């Protein structure tokens, strides 16, 4: 297959050819690994950006729920309003 190629014939024996082939394969594997690493890094960055865009809403809901649990121990209709400086004061009361 490669017998007529000058690059192939430049090697003096099969051992040199085999070593060159193994180096070539190692380079291909290294390039594939580097490409996968770069793709993973990009994916992780995109995922982190997605989490950062969703996180504030999730934290607000969790914080409001925790605050309500602290202030609400009575049924909704008989509970006093939360303090004005409380984080859940501006949130609507949810009837469960």
Give the DSSP per-residue string, 31-54. Answer: HHHHHHHHHHHHHHHHHHHHHHHH
Q: Which residue stretches of the chain have pLDDT < 50?
A: 74, 95-96
Q: What is the pLDDT of residue 73?
A: 55
Both tokens assigned to 18: 């085999």
What ranges do the domains of the chain cover? 6-78
Q: What is the pLDDT of residue 34?
A: 97
Rounded Cα gap, residues 65 and 80, in angstroms: 16
Q: What is the pLDDT of residue 22?
A: 94
**Rounded percentage of the chain residues whose pLDDT exceeds 90:** 28
Of 49, 89, 47, 52, the closest CA to residue 72 belongs to: 89
pTM for the whole structure? 0.48
């Amino acid at each position: 297959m490669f017998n007529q190629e000058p690059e192939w014939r430049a090697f003096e024996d099969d051992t040199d050819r085999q070593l060159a082939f193994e180096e070539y394969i190692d380079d291909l594997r290294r390039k594939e690994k580097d490409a996968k690493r770069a793709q993973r890094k990009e994916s992780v960055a995109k995922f982190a950006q997605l989490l950062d865009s969703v996180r504030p809403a999730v934290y607000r809901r969790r914080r409001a729920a925790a605050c309500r649990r602290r202030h609400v121990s009575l049924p909704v209709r008989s509970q006093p309003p939360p303090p004005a400086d409380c984080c859940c004061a501006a949130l609507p009361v949810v009837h469960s």
